Amino acid sequence: MLFGDDQSDPWRFEKLAARQGFRAVAGVDEAGRGPLAGPVVAAAVLLPAGVDLEGVDDSKKLAAAKRDELFALIVERALAIGVGVSDHSSIDRINILQATLAAMKEAVANLAISADYLLVDGISKIPIHLPQRTITKGDSASISIAAASIVAKVTRDRMMDDFDLRYPGYGFARHKGYGSAVHLAAIARLGPSPIHRLTFRGVREHVREDG
């Protein structure tokens, strides 16, 4: 951190990138690495400098109703939003880390305004030819990453609500695919659904061998 930077300023990483000459700084984050079912969803968000997004924070710290409210605000005020999705079969095929990075790459590619610099939550860089900075716990440190975390989380939660209607009995609308006791009991009782991650512990033990 440069001398004089305010570590409580949610714009500090965006300002640092701007001082380096970058003009379109996007925050990138994901939702859904840990669940046993459904996709991993990534979002990239490009914000106008200094835009008022009071209340935006790491999506995990916010109640669902607040996330929905802030999602609408971000959609209204962002310069561009891109979303990328890696489904359960991709996760099983290439592993969750590679599937997450693929979703992040897709999210950046789907921005209507091209980014020239990325702020990425976590420790893994996206396999894309753009300057980028990874930030551990970036969704609590960067306003752009926090906005991306909310977009990714709300988008994925709504997908899981839809899956709950298609595959009743598992409780997807309630736990969003995470490994709660209720979810694990449903898998044991019903077997994996078409959207379960068959390589994940808690699911793979219940995959039936059909010969």
Tokens coding 97: 């880390």
Which among 55, 41, 77, 50 is positioned nearest to 154, based on CA atoms?
41
Q: What is the CATH number of the domain that holds 22?
A: 3.30.420.10
- Please report, rounded to a whole number, the percentage of residues in the chain having pLDDT higher than 90: 90
In-domain check, residue 92:
yes
Looking only at the bridges linking them, the beta strands covering 132-135 and 117-121 are: parallel
In-domain check, residue 198:
no
- Report, as an integer, the average pLDDT of 64-74: 96
In-domain check, residue 90:
yes
In-domain check, residue 170:
no
- Under the banding of pLDDT at 50, 70 and 90, the label for residue 211 is very low
Can you give the residue range of the structural domain that contains 76?
12-162
Q: Rounded to two decimals, what is the model's pTM?
A: 0.94
- Under the banding of pLDDT at 50, 70 and 90, the label for residue 1 is very low
How does the average pLDDT of the chain come out, rounded?
Answer: 95
Per-residue model confidence (pLDDT) at position 5: 60
If one counts the domains in the chain, the total is: 1
In-domain check, residue 4:
no
